[in-house]
Structure 1
Amino acid sequence: MWFGKEKSILGIDIGTQAIKMVQLRSEDYLLETYGIVDLIEPITNQTKPEVISQTIDLLRTLTEKAHATTKRCALSLPNSAVFTSVIDMPKMTDAELEQSMKFEAKKYVPLPFEEVSLSWSLISEDPNTNTMKVLLIAVPKQIRDTYIHIFEKAGLELEVIEIEALALIRTLVQDKSKNDVIIDIGAKVTGINFVKQGLLQLTRNLNLGGDTITEKIAQTLNLAPARAEQFKRDFGLNSTEFLPEAGKPVLTTIRSEIKQVLDIYKSHQVQIDRIVLVGGGAQMPGLQEYFAELAPEVIYGNSISKLSYPKEVEPVLKRFSMQLPVAVGLALRQTE
């Protein structure tokens, strides 16, 4: 029981191109409101004060126009803003782990120790080998503090910050007896997340995404970016007449990276059951077939399958479903 505790929370995903928000009621996963607004510029270590002010205004406007009724928030940091590693370690106590992680972090984080905020969590233990897998997350303090400032100035209460991969798993993994690869193709970054029986095993980020493909098409066909984007969404990989080979190298890079990950796990007798495609960049015809040879099943992620909502909004929700899995997963976090 809640005993007066507020039942709703906002899941807010600030990506490189847009802010996505959902408000969920915890006891029945009711989608109370949602919204998406384009960003003027992504948040980085070098973000100018005027961009921060614009982001504050966008966030405030988004929550007001969506008629959000709570100020409690869970936030995800973009893949490009954090350093994430899954580390194999011998089994040890919590106190020993704390000391070890401070040492291990220096191997994986290419920033001075004093400039990052570290966190870690136990993923799994193997009693046969007396080892465990630990998820290490390092967030540059400057970026963390910038987001905290943005939410404070927008009048929101930031309760949780986590990485996109964990939110995606919470939303998209339906059968925890299976092994999935979740491919999140964003505007500028593609995240590849290997999930074994519901637990994150590996996450990789590629600095290319849907915008990269659009730029290649625009250059080759001498089109304005908006027109090239429309060509990509309308024809995708199904027609070389409209979408030339220019866009293919980007997808080939993504597929090669996925295959490399799968080969590593296959060498340890771990088979992949399905690939789950999400993200605004995944909304391209023919993409499902393009990755078909890599897994027994390739599906588009359904970010609203665990939610309840009025039937009349379903067509609109389905149209935005591919862009909402991180925001939904953040809001679902309070139910764990």
Structure 2
Amino acid sequence: MAKNIIGLDISDSSIEALSLEKHRGNFVVEAYSRFRLSPEIVANGRVLDKEKLKEAIVKLFNNAKPVAFDKSRKVFLSIPESQTFSKVLSIPRNIKNKDLETAAFTQAEELIPENINRLTAIIKVLSEKNDQKQVCYVAAETEVLQEFVDVFKELDIEIAGITTETTSSFNGLKKDKDKKNTLLLDLGASTTIASVFSEEGLGSSININIGGNNITEAIAQKLNITHSKAEQKKVKNGLTSTESGEIMLISQGQLQPLVDELKIFVNFWQTSTGLVIERVVLIGGLSQMKGADKYFGDNLNLPTKIGEPFIDKSSLPAKLEFSKYINVLGLARLAQQEAEVDFYKKLPKDFGKKTDLGQTVLVKENVFKKFLRIINPLNLLVVFKNKYFVVVLALAVLAVVGFLFKDRLWPEPGPISVEQLIIISNDETKIAENFVGGEYFDFRVFKFYDTATDSELPADYVDNFANTLKRLEANANAKVESLIKEYNPEDFYVLPRVISYEIISTKPTAEDYQPGQELKADFNYVFMMVSEEEIKKILVAEYPELTNKINTLAYEVVVYSHSEGGEYFEVLVSVNKR
């Protein structure tokens, strides 16, 4: 049964799936797949658009390499850490096991900022010390579990289990034989998940809202460069001084609050359990930053290493990036054994049963099959007795076939162009067909203006700070939309329409300005950017012949409006097909 189970992880920005099989006694990757999600589908671990998520899962299954996943296979899921709670509780040792759950719930209710009746919880005794039992309380919102169960129920895909993201990630790692108490740090873009694992398993975990994005934003601000260039410098320099001491100091400055939070968390866990954390293991995108292991090791005063997959890296598929698949690798491994944290087992037995309605079909009906279905009731034997009708029908069929397959039968020479209207917005109320979620993009511009070099000054011009700043603003606003075209982040397109801007600073200030003096200003413009990958997905879905053939995209803003909900663009996207 375990062989048929697929590890599947749904995050805010992507979904990943992976399955394992045994080969000569060792696990190898059977198949894997990854699909990026638009921002409006899942947010903070909650399903916002169930239909689009179902469509994405179907595509995820169909696009698996080297072979597609079969929908008859079960899936083992993880719940995002942002929707779970994990605490170590001290329960009097004389509490009997039958009353342990009630005692743990009573204590958890005082510690967890959530209605305890809305949670599905798992309780596990970690250790017994003196007159106390150390109990791990792990819970997830039942409503969130229901959202994920409903999605797979409607797809007619059976769920084998649901665990925490931390549990699955830890199981994707290579384990040392010594079974030391381990602090697992999942260093992400916006958050860090810190979890403690002892010999008994998951002990406690917390979310800290500090990640790689904090470093990128600090570098961009302090060096007055774009976010894309700041990201490049972060990756190149890391937390070492070999390339740039300035970048190292900026990066370390952003991580210091994280280290402070981690020290408090470690101290609390050690004090409450009487155990000692013996090492640190790093995973997540930021763990790949140069010098990350040394930085956290030195600051936490603990042996620290980068997490390695439990499967030999040399046996992983060439295109499989371990850092992006660690969670599903652990889920696929858990499917081969008994998961100690499984929320699905705690749910009512009828909480996600398959329906008798059969599979949910998300693909469009084949045109030819639809044609056959329509003409099926006709008495074809009678009709075909008329030879003239047969000739006319044959010509009509040839005409229809020629029209439907004209691109294949008579392909146009050279590149062809396709145009598609795309809706781009960060306003969830604007979701419609061909919709792609957009996000704000800050763009810093530094401009100077010197009245002495301006030949177009009016005769009655009064040289003061306000007038000079006004001319500087006009000059910057006139050029910023052309400048933004040169600074598009990788895999994104920034719409050349200023949404808002502010003047961060001027040199000299208004108080120090003297007539005839050069004025410099630091502007921060806000634009909207969109993932080109998501636009290509829409285009390929609409025009399958564009698959792997899109060369360049051109954009023309047709409609723009602003509301309290956000920005709304209608953009005509032109495609050159190579």
Give yes or no for TM over 0.5. Answer: yes
Report the CA distance between 1:83 and its aligned residue. Answer: 1.8
Aligned pair partner of 2:184 in 182, 205, 220: 182
CA contact (8 A) 1:169 1:198 kept: no
**Cα gap change, 1:103 to 1:62, in 2 (>3 Å):** same
1:149: which partner in 2?
150
- Residue of 245, 259, 262 corresponding to 2:263: 259
| SS of residue in 2 equivalent to 1:16 | coil
TM-aligned CA deviation for residue 189 of structure 1: 1.9
Q: Report the equivalent of 2:304.
A: 298
- Equivalence for 2:31: 33
2:11 maps to what in 1? 15
AA at the equivalent of 1:131: Q
Structure 1 residues 249, 266: CA separation in 2 closer, same or farther (over 3 Å shift)?
A: same
User: TM-score scaled to structure 2, two decimals?
Assistant: 0.51
1:291 is paired with a residue whose SS is helix
Residue 220 of structure 1 is matched in structure 2 by 222
**Cα deviations across residues 107-152 of structure 1 (Å, max 9, x unaligned)?**
13322234x23222314232x5253332222322332222222333
Aligned residue pair count? 323
Residue 60 of structure 2: aligned partner? 62
1:7 counterpart SS class: helix
Q: Residue 243 of structure 1: SS of its match in structure 2?
A: helix
In structure 2, how many angstroms separate the alpha carbons of the residues matched to 1:155 and 1:240?
A: 54
One-letter amino acid of the structure 2 residue matched with residue 147 of structure 1: F
8 A contact 1:272–1:295 mirrored in 2:
no
Alignment of 1:166-315 (within 5 A): 166-172=167-173, 173-197=175-199, 199-238=201-240, 239-240=243-244, 243=247, 245-264=249-268, 270-293=275-298, 294-303=300-309, 305=310, 307=311, 311=315, 313=316, 315=318
Q: Distance in 1 between matches of 2:10 and 2:141?
A: 16
CA 1:94/1:335 → structure 2, altered by over 3 Å: closer, same or farther?
A: farther
Q: Please state whether the residue corresponding to 2:135 is helix, strand or coil.
A: strand
SS of equivalent to 1:87: strand
Taking a change above 3 Å as real, the CA distance of residues 183 and 45 of structure 1, as seen in their structure-2 partners, is closer
- The residue type paired with residue 109 of structure 1 is I
Q: Are the counterparts in 2 of residues 30 and 309 from structure 1 also a CA contact under 8 Å? A: no
* Contact 2:167–2:202 (Cα < 8 Å) also in 1: yes
Alignment partners' CA distance in 2, 1:44 and 1:297: 32
Q: Larger Rg: 1 or 2?
A: 2
Q: Does 1:53 align with 2:51?
A: yes
Q: How do 1:42-191 and structure 2 match up within 5 A?
A: 42-44=42-44, 48-49=48-49, 52-66=50-64, 67-69=68-70, 71-91=73-93, 92-114=95-117, 116-126=118-128, 128-172=129-173, 173-191=175-193
The one-letter code matched in structure 1 to 2:37 is: L
- For 2:314 and 2:306, the matched residues in 1 are separated by 22
Percentage identity across paired residues of the two chains: 23
Match of residue 327 from structure 2: 326
- Residue 304 of structure 2 aligns with an amino acid whose one-letter code is V
Q: Is the 8 A contact 2:45 2:79 kept in 1?
A: no
Structure 2 CA distance for partners of 1:309 and 1:266, relative to 1, 3 Å = closer
How far apart are 1:333 and its partner, in Å?
Answer: 1.4
Letter in structure 1 aligned against 2:19: Q
Q: After superposition, give the CA deviation of every residue in 1:72-110 in whole Å (9 maximum; x if it has no partner).
A: 111111111122212121244442123223322311332
**Alignment CA distance shift 1:151-1:216 (3 Å):** farther
Which range is displaced more, 142-151 or 181-190? Answer: 142-151
User: How far has the Cα of 1:295 moved from its partner?
Assistant: 4.0
Contact 2:126 2:200 in 1 (8 A): no
Structure 2: unaligned runs, 5 residues or longer: 338-578
SS of residue matched to 2:172: helix
Q: 1:200 Cα deviation (Å)? A: 2.4
2:194–2:207 CA contact under 8 A, matched in 1? yes
Separation in 2, partners of 1:30, 1:226: 36
Q: 1:110 aligns to what SS in structure 2?
A: coil
Deviations 1:149-193 (A, max 9, x none): 233344532221111222233233433531211100122221111
Cα distance in 2, alignment partners of residues 252 and 94 from structure 1: 42
Tell whether the 8 Å contact from 1:12 to 1:76 is kept in structure 2 after alignment.
yes
**Cα separation, partners in 2 of 1:179 and 1:134, compared to 1, 3 Å:** same
Aligned partners of 1:20 and 1:37 also within 8 Å: yes
Hey, what's the Cα distance between the residues in 1 that align with 2:270 and 2:79? 30
Cα 1:95–1:171 change in 2 (3 A) is same
Deviation of the 1:321 alpha carbon: 1.6
Task: Name the aligned partner's letter for residue 289 of structure 1.
Answer: K
Distance 1:90 1:328, change over 3 A: farther
Identify if the C-alpha distance between structure 1 residues 19 and 174 changes in structure 2 by more than 3 Å, giving closer, same or farther: farther
Query: Which fold has the larger relative contact order, with Cα–Cα distance below 8 Å and residues 6 or more apart in sequence?
Result: 1
How far 1:266 moved relative to its partner?
5.9
Q: Superposition RMSD on alpha carbons, in Å?
A: 2.9
Mean Cα displacement is larger for which, 273-282 or 69-78? 69-78
